[in-house]
Chain A
């Protein structure tokens, strides 16, 4: 049950688009369309932003979108805003267990 690989940090200016990658294996990201993305502000509980690779829960801005190619999933934030500054975690179902595994997290900074 190894953690998924995410970049430690990504930054962008207001209005720009950024993409966070999440790389796994054929046993998790590549094998199932069960990738979720979570946003976490300091001291707060995580918030679901994307689930099942591309689905956006009710109430989440359409500036957030998800995709997947092979063993790598991606979260794109378009029209970056100050409030988007947070930690972002991907997770995936894994056949190892079976269970779920998270990425180590990516800190998004709005310049």
Chain B
């Protein structure tokens, strides 16, 4: 059974940093692109970043470029999101998701981890 479990969310002050983790199990992790998708309270989904299975490519939404870094450790079956210079508008539930066909086809999602940026 495929499982994705996020951790690392919490309350952080504006300008602060946080590192999210997503532990994967039940599939060959290195074969899949992995993504982070976020959802602000009461709002819609927003794609944040993704990374190829071998780590050779990664992309970001414009609003987080230069502030967020996606990475992965295939030996630990984990993907990470380092978030720096956090802003109030980054407040959201952050989901990690597996991309089934490398086309934005997120067939498995974690339960999400809440990041709150507030003073």
Q: Is chain B a partner of chain A in the same complex? A: yes
Question: Using a CB–CB distance below 8 Å, which chain A residues touch chain B?
Answer: 1, 3, 34, 36, 38, 40, 45-48, 51-52, 55, 57, 87, 89, 91-93, 97-105
* CB pair A92 B45 closer than 8 Å: no
* CB pair B104 A36 closer than 8 Å: yes
| List of B residues within 8 angstroms of A98 by Cβ | 59
Question: Using a CB–CB distance below 8 Å, which chain B residues touch chain A?
Answer: 35, 37, 44-47, 50, 59-62, 95, 100-101, 103-107, 109-112
- Residue among A45, A48, A99 making CB contact with B111, cutoff 8 Å: A45
Rounded to whole angstroms, the CA-CA distance of A7 and B109 in the bound complex is 25
* CB pair B107 A46 closer than 8 Å: no
| List of A residues within 8 angstroms of B111 by Cβ | 45
* CB pair A52 B105 closer than 8 Å: yes
Give the distance to chain B from A73, nearest Cβ to Cβ, in Å.
Answer: 12
* CB pair A46 B106 closer than 8 Å: yes
* CB pair A48 B59 closer than 8 Å: no
Give the distance to chain A from B35, nearest Cβ to Cβ, in Å.
Answer: 8
* CB pair B47 A45 closer than 8 Å: no
* CB pair A34 B103 closer than 8 Å: yes
* CB pair B44 A48 closer than 8 Å: no
| List of B residues within 8 angstroms of A99 by Cβ | 47, 50, 59-61
Rounded to whole angstroms, the CA-CA distance of A55 and B100 in the bound complex is 12
Instruction: Given A91-B47, A105-B44, decide whether A45 and B95 contact each other with a Cβ distance below 8 A.
Output: yes
- Residue among B50, B61, B101 making CB contact with A1, cutoff 8 Å: B61
Rounded to whole angstroms, the CA-CA distance of A11 and B46 in the bound complex is 24
Residue of A nearest to B49 (CB): A99
| List of A residues within 8 angstroms of B109 by Cβ | 45-47
* CB pair A91 B107 closer than 8 Å: no
- Residue among A34, A100, A105 making CB contact with B47, cutoff 8 Å: A100
